Amino acid sequence: MNSMGTAVSQRGSANSKTAWDVQTVRAAFPILKQKVHNKPLVYLDNAATTQKPAAVLDAILGFYKHDCSNVHRGVHQLSERATDAYEGARDTVRHFLNAKDIREVIFVRGATEAINLVAQTFGRRMLGAGDEIVITALEHHSDIVPWQILCEEKGARLSVVPIDDRGELRMDEFEKHLNPRVKLVCAAHVSNALGTVNPVREIVRLSHAEGIPVLLDGAQAAPHFRVDVQELDCDFYAFSGHKIYGPTGIGVLYGKSALLEAMPPYQGGGDMIRSVTFEKTLYNSLPYKFEAGTPHIAGAIGLGAALDYVTGLGQERTESYERGLLAYATEALSAIPDLRMIGTAREKAGVLSFVLNGIHPHDVGTVLDYEGIAVRTGHHCAQPVMDRFGVPATTRASLGLYNSREEIDALVAGIHKVKETFS
Ligand code: C6P
């Protein structure tokens, strides 16, 4: 099913065969046409959430207007259509991740729920007193706190691989953290606070050599480049729909089927059962065992449309465009006096975090907002990363596929305005 591929070309958006034209791409996103404080909106908060193309909005509205019904339950026409669309979206995700089997794709609320699901099922079953879970110093709170909760319950230990001054993972240290007590390794594919791309293939290879499974948090990776879970050979992969031009409240947990089969259910309720008596309940097969209750049907359909949109544009082309934009922005921002970039890894995606001497990031964000520029300021739910760099917060500009060089120029002009205001 590739209905959105059609929608993309009908709307005159760029497709994978034409040259990249950012204005044509932007035209697919209705929200970008607005003004904020009487200035054209410059949306540079894509790591927090991305805007949605018309194809996604149309898919969601189309479901509610024409097919709204529950899934897997009714014999009637609307329910059959809703089920087909929902399961079609699952197949789109399978393609997107190149998962071997559709049973390996579980719909969840987002990356946070995906990680909690693994912690509360796989983790709870595997972890004992004295065991360890390895994470990196780059993790978002969503890939720290679920493991802390679990470790506390089990009397286990969180073991953290450090980063260097560029914000790159210390791979020399990584191997030293692997030992027979480690039951799981968890790593961000891309850091949300710094943009560092972790060497995830190497992380998986080294961990598997010690027989340790790996969970990758792909919340900030899936929007920027092609992810192939078979090639990565990771055991679990998590991402959120809203960061990849899809709706909020929907995300994906990929897991290798052998691991998922062996895991107990996450939540109990409708759809995750095969049969129920008061004496014993038999659970449903994959992936339904992990999808208790009425799922976010419209969300899954919207996510399918978003992935069709992204693949329709051509992921290699998007990656190459964004790489050029990041290089342009890095050079422009680095030339600003008194601006310190936080996170200068050699492999980065989508993120520019910085501090301005003597000016609090919240003040930077407020002045930029008056210029129509949306950035995020704060600790970005990655407080240990802020601690590592000795700053309480940063200003973060994060890029999406619709951002232009003119918008980077506007950001640079905005930062000069901030400096003037506070000089
Ligand atoms: N980061 C940011 O502004 P949810 O909230 O479940 O969709 O995603 C959580 C999450 C997990 N991992 C990483 C690497 C993330 O970046 C995020 C979300 C947003 O950076 C909101 S805090």
Cα 400 from Cα 47, distance rounded (Å): 8
Q: For 61-116, how does the pLDDT look when each residue is reduced to its tens digit (9 = 90+)? A: 999 999 999 999 889 999 999 999 999 999 999 999 999 999 999 999 999 999 99
Q: For 205-235, how does the pLDDT look when each residue is reduced to its tens digit (9 = 90+)? A: 999 999 999 999 999 999 999 999 999 999 9
Which pLDDT score, from 0 to 100, does residue 111 have? 98
Same domain, 40 and 93: no
Which pLDDT score, from 0 to 100, does residue 13 have? 44
Mutate to test the pocket of ligand 1, among 45, 107, 240 (most ligand atoms within 8 A of CB): 240
Which pLDDT score, from 0 to 100, does residue 9 have? 34
> Which band of pLDDT confidence, cut at 50, 70 and 90, is reported for residue 40?
very high
Which pLDDT score, from 0 to 100, does residue 423 have? 87
Ligand 1 center to 45 CA (angstroms): 12
Can you give the length of the chain in residues? 423
The answer to whether residue 339 sits within a structural domain is yes
Q: For 110-159, how does the pLDDT look when each residue is reduced to its tens digit (9 = 90+)? A: 999 999 999 999 999 999 999 999 999 999 999 999 999 999 999 999 99
> Which band of pLDDT confidence, cut at 50, 70 and 90, is reported for residue 259?
very high
Same domain, 67 and 134: yes
The answer to whether residue 42 sits within a structural domain is yes
Average pLDDT, the chain: 95
Sequence-distant (6+) residues with CB within 8 A of 17 are none
Same domain, 124 and 235: yes
Average pLDDT over residues 239-249: 98
Angle at 348 between CA 342 and CA 353, to 5 degrees: 25
Same domain, 199 and 303: yes
Query: What residues are labeled active site?
Result: 381
Ligand 1 center to 351 CA (angstroms): 13
Closest CA to 110 of 293, 247, 267, 241: 241
| CATH for 414 | 3.90.1150.10
Same domain, 236 and 360: no
More confident: 293 or 4 = 293
Among candidate residues 289, 311, 333, the one where a domain is terminated: 311
> Which band of pLDDT confidence, cut at 50, 70 and 90, is reported for residue 16?
low
Whether pLDDT at 14 is above 80? no
Q: Which residues line ligand 1 (CB under 6 A)?
A: 47-48, 110-112, 140, 142-143, 188, 192, 217, 219-220, 240, 376, 380-381
Q: For 315-354, how does the pLDDT look when each residue is reduced to its tens digit (9 = 90+)? A: 999 999 999 999 999 999 999 999 999 999 999 999 999 9
Give the orientation angle of helix 77-97 with respect to helix 297-313, to 10 degrees: 40
Same domain, 76 and 162: yes
Same domain, 286 and 318: no
Average pLDDT over residues 365-372: 98
Among candidate residues 311, 346, 370, the one where a domain is terminated: 311
Which pLDDT score, from 0 to 100, does residue 74 have? 80
Which pLDDT score, from 0 to 100, does residue 19 have? 81
Whether pLDDT at 169 is above 70? yes
Containing structural domain, residue 401:
16-52+314-422
The answer to whether residue 4 sits within a structural domain is no
Which pLDDT score, from 0 to 100, does residue 42 have? 98
Cα 345 from Cα 342, distance rounded (Å): 9
Same domain, 194 and 302: yes
| CATH for 290 | 3.40.640.10
Same domain, 392 and 343: yes
Among candidate residues 281, 311, 341, the one where a domain is terminated: 311
